[in-house]
C-alpha cells in the first residue's frame, strides 16, 4: 500500500520540478496577436506624439501608412507572430496573406456579411461599446453577436482604456461616460450601476 503512494509522490515531485523548469524558460514559439490596426494614409494618428502615459512613457506615432505596415510586418517576423487579427487588415492582406486575419466591427452587419463573402472578414472586432458608455449586453451590440454566430467567426471586444493613451489623452471628453465592466476593477469607471 505504501508503494503506490510513493510512486504518486515521486511523480508529483517530478512534475512540479519539470513545470518549474518550463515556466522559467523563455517562450520562443509562435504567437497570435489579437489587436493590430492597419490605417489608410489619411489617418489623423500619423505623426502624433502622445503625452506621457500612466507609466511615464512618451510614444511617437509612425509617419504614414507605409511606415506603419513595414514596422509591423518586421515585428511579425522578429517575434514569430504567425497570425494577427488586424482591423482593416484588407489593407495588408496582400503583403502577409497567411498571417493577417481581417477584422472589422465599425460597419453595419450587412456590410460585414458582404465583406465575409468576399474573404475580407475573419473576425468581428473590435467591438468597443465602452467608449460609448455602454455595457457589452447593450441591445445595440446583439446584432454583432448574431452575425458572428451566423458566419462562424470569433468576435473581439476592446476594453478601456485603449492604446498607449487613447482613452485618457486622445479623447478625454469621453471619460465621463466610459465603462470598464469587463476590464480591471482598478480602471476608471464613473458609472454607478
Find cell 484588407 and name the residue: 90
Contact indicator for 146, 167 with CB cutoff of 8 Å: no
Which residue has better confidence, 176 or 90?
90
**Strand 155-157 to 81-87 pairing:** unpaired
Question: Can you give the pLDDT at residue 177?
Answer: 46
CA distance linking residue 165 with residue 144, whole number of Å:
27
Pairing of the two strands 49-50 and 59-60: antiparallel
Alpha helices per DSSP H over 44-178: 65-78, 109-117, 142-151
**Residue 77, pLDDT score:** 95
More confident position, 167 or 117: 117
Amino acid at each position: 500500500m505504501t508503494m503506490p503512494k510513493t510512486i504518486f509522490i515521486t511523480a508529483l515531485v517530478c512534475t512540479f520540478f519539470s513545470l518549474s523548469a518550463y515556466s522559467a524558460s523563455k517562450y520562443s514559439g509562435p504567437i497570435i496577436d489579437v489587436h493590430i490596426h492597419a490605417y489608410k494614409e489619411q489617418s489623423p494618428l500619423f505623426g502624433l506624439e502622445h503625452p506621457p502615459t500612466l507609466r511615464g512613457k512618451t510614444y511617437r506615432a509612425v509617419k504614414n501608412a507605409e511606415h506603419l505596415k513595414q514596422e509591423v510586418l518586421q515585428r511579425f517576423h522578429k517575434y514569430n507572430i504567425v497570425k494577427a487579427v488586424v482591423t482593416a487588415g484588407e489593407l495588408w492582406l496582400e503583403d502577409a496573406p497567411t498571417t493577417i486575419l481581417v477584422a472589422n466591427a465599425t460597419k453595419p452587419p450587412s456590410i460585414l456579411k458582404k465583406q465575409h463573402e468576399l474573404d475580407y472578414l475573419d473576425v468581428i472586432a473590435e467591438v468597443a461599446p465602452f467608449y460609448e458608455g455602454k455595457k457589452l449586453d447593450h441591445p445595440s451590440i446583439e446584432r454583432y453577436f448574431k452575425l458572428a454566430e451566423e458566419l462562424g467567426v470569433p468576435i473581439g471586444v476592446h476594453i478601456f482604456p485603449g492604446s498607449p493613451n487613447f482613452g485618457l489623452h486622445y479623447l478625454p471628453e469621453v471619460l465621463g461616460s466610459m465603462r470598464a465592466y469587463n476590464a480591471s476593477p482598478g480602471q476608471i469607471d464613473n458609472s454607478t450601476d
